[in-house]
Amino acid sequence: MSAIDDIIKFNSEFVAGEKYIPFAAEKFPRKKLAVVSCMDTRLTELLPAALNLKNGDANIIKTAGAVVSHPRGGVMRSILVAVYTLGVREIMIVGHTGCGMRHLDPADMALRMHERGVTADAVELEWLRGFDDETESVRASVNLVRNHPLMPRDITVRGFLMDIDTGKIIKIP
């Protein structure tokens, strides 16, 4: 049985047993907070636990490397929706140590794509790039969000680096 089939089976039992009840929340984040974080599986439970975030407290936006890479991309769109329609007043960009996006080799990724049937002309290497320094990556994302022409100036945008082993966060100046 596949992972998706396992999930579908579990979900049926979850709904039948009304196990969703403890997770009821409003769509508006109670803490008026959005968190942009990495999609790393090690952060799935660590991030909310280390930040004391419960269901309904914040909008959590996951993306590879916690990178906001384009002013008109999906991550920035999600942030702007959170600000303008969900009442978010503060934004945390939370990168982490040991991130897989550090030193990501776009040429290696393109090779893997080619091995799976993607044509070379379909791959834009610049778009696949990672970063060399987690702190600088967070700083760049904070600057993009903070200085975005559609971002209201009364919104607080701050950057942090989380230790992947302990959950400790350090503010990025």
The 10s digit of each residue's pLDDT in 3-48 is: 999 999 999 999 999 999 999 999 999 999 999 999 999 999 999 9
Report d(CA 89, CA 32) in Å as an integer.
5
Q: Is residue 106 predicted with pLDDT exceeding 90? A: no
pTM beyond 0.85: yes
**Which domains, and CATH codes, for the chain?**
26-172 (3.40.1050.10)
Report d(CA 65, CA 32) in Å as an integer.
23
* Count of beta carbons in the 10 Å neighbourhood of residue 143: 14
More confident residue, 42 or 106: 42
Give the residue-averaged pLDDT of 149-161: 98
Report d(CA 40, CA 104) in Å as an integer.
14
Least trusted range by pLDDT, from 41-55, 65-79, 87-101, 114-128: 114-128
DSSP helix/strand/coil, 36:
strand
Predicted local confidence at residue 55, as pLDDT: 96
* Count of beta carbons in the 10 Å neighbourhood of residue 33: 20
Predicted local confidence at residue 143, as pLDDT: 98
Predicted local confidence at residue 110, as pLDDT: 87
Q: Is residue 120 predicted with pLDDT exceeding 90? A: no
